Amino acid sequence: MTIDERAARIALDEEKARLLHQLEELGATPDGDLKTDLDLGEGFADAAAITAERSEILGLVERMVEELGTVDAALDRLGNGTYGVCASCGEEIPAERLEFRPNAIRCVSCKEQRS
């Protein structure tokens, strides 16, 4: 089974659009900065709740920015012909894995070692 780079690019573009949209909805920039301070009904919500909400959103944003980074990295790799090669060990990433997760830039065993 060979890697369908055209399908991969479409999947990556879609994933990128989805992530950017979600960041936008959370009021964050693609770099993960919150554009405005959250307005969660100042006056009656207590500060602790706002802080908790804010850190929850920041956590979400952080994960999305990280995900976005891997999507961009995968798109770069499509551009320079290294797509589908593990960024750590240089082995080919199985096409089945890329189909399931087009932004994978490491094979399963390297990914497991990192986490």
List interacting residues with Zn ion (CB under 5 A).
Answer: 86, 88-89, 107, 110
Q: How far is the CB of 94 from Zn ion (least distance, A)?
A: 11
Q: How far is the CB of 91 from Zn ion (least distance, A)?
A: 5
Q: Which is nearer to Zn ion, 9 or 111 (CB)?
A: 111
Q: How far is the CB of 102 from Zn ion (least distance, A)?
A: 17
Q: How far is the CB of 56 from Zn ion (least distance, A)?
A: 33
Q: Which is nearer to Zn ion, 57 or 87 (CB)?
A: 87
Q: Which is nearer to Zn ion, 20 or 87 (CB)?
A: 87
Cβ atoms of 107 and 93 within 8 Å: the answer is: yes
For residues 41 and 23, what is the distance between their CA atoms, to the nearest angstrom?
A: 21
Q: How far is CA 30 from CA 39, 54, 82, in A?
A: 20, 17, 25
Which residues touch 111 (CB under 8 Å, ≥6 apart)? Answer: 104
Q: Which residues are bridge partners to 92 per DSSP?
A: 85
Q: Which is nearer to Zn ion, 11 or 93 (CB)?
A: 93
